[in-house]
Amino acid sequence: MASDPAGRQSEVRRKAGRPTKAVLELGRITQTALKLVRQEGYQGLTMSALAKRLNVAPSALYNHVRSKQELLILIQDHLMSLVEVACFDSKPWDEAIQDWARSYRDVFAHHTPLIPLIAVQPITNSPQTLRIYEAVARGFQRAGWPEDEIVNAIVALESFIFGSALDVTAPENIFDVGELQAEAPVISRAVASRETRFGRYTAAPAFELGLAAIIQGLRWQLSTLSEGRSTI
């Protein structure tokens, strides 16, 4: 049977021009962006640098993500989708907060360069992020929190969570006073006493202490708000 070089060349051209799957998809873009931030910091996250990591032209990237702001929405949504919120459907609000806060902190402890951005990133057009906030807000609402205080309570918790996520990356010697013990005797003894009880510095004991204190404060605040409004 005679060969058909022209036919084979035509088939090769058709395959080259019609890839069986897209070169880019949003999940791959997001994961590559996160890896870039982990390795280079947020300052290294540019559209051109990301396109290079993806081995595509910047124009190809812009076909999927129109701006860096849109890229941040993808990153925010991915990270927030990892945060546990099902607990608010099955546990009392104050117990659910513990699971949510621990999960939230753990997620962002692995992505600390993004904390300054995500902490002030609007939730507009971010479906997974909105899902998280809606679940938490519903938990507070069911517990009897006034609607005008729910966001305040969530932001108060987030401020603590983001700081605690940064603390996870702190070095063990963060509170070593060096040769200045005589000038700071109280903190020196406090550091030594803590080390005796907990070992070298880790963020966990401080986080658990702070979380318990905040939840206790929120319980008191809810009680106060409920009593105050019941007299109006």
Phi, psi of 28 (to 5 degrees): -65, -40
Radius of gyration of the chain (CA): 25
What pLDDT is stored for residue 21 in this prediction? Answer: 42
CA distances from 132 to 33, 123, 128 (A): 22, 10, 6
pLDDT, tens digit, 9 for 90 and up, residues 186-205: 999 999 998 888 887 789 99
What pLDDT is stored for residue 4 in this prediction? Answer: 54
> Of 66, 69, 73, nearest to 129 (Cα)?
73
Query: Longest Cα pair distance anywhere in the chain, in angstroms?
Result: 97
Cα dihedral across residues 58, 64, 67, 73: positive or negative = negative
What pLDDT is stored for residue 92 in this prediction? Answer: 95
Residue ranges covered by each domain of the chain: 1-66
What pLDDT is stored for residue 13 in this prediction? Answer: 45
124: left (phi over 0), alpha (psi -120 to 50) or beta: beta
What pLDDT is stored for residue 22 in this prediction? Answer: 46
**What gap in Å lies between CA 11 and CA 58, rounded to an integer?**
29
What pLDDT is stored for residue 73 in this prediction? Answer: 92
Q: Residue written as tokens 């890839």?
A: 19
CA angle, residues 77, 80, 86, in degrees to nearest 5: 125
Q: Is 208 exposed, middle or buried (0-12, 13-18, 19+ CB in 10 A)?
A: middle
Helix axes 147-167, 93-109, angle to 10 degrees: 40
What pLDDT is stored for residue 83 in this prediction? Answer: 97
The answer to pTM > 0.85 is no
What pLDDT is stored for residue 199 in this prediction? Answer: 83
What pLDDT is stored for residue 201 in this prediction? Answer: 79
What pLDDT is stored for residue 160 in this prediction? Answer: 98
In CATH, the architecture of 1-66 is Orthogonal Bundle (1.10)
What pLDDT is stored for residue 6 in this prediction? Answer: 52
Is 153:204 a contact under the CB 8 Å cutoff? no
**Which residues of the chain, if any, have pLDDT below 50?**
1, 10-22, 230-232
Q: Residue written as tokens 């987030």?
A: 158
What pLDDT is stored for residue 229 in this prediction? Answer: 63
What pLDDT is stored for residue 162 in this prediction? Answer: 98
Cα dihedral across residues 212, 217, 220, 225: positive or negative = negative
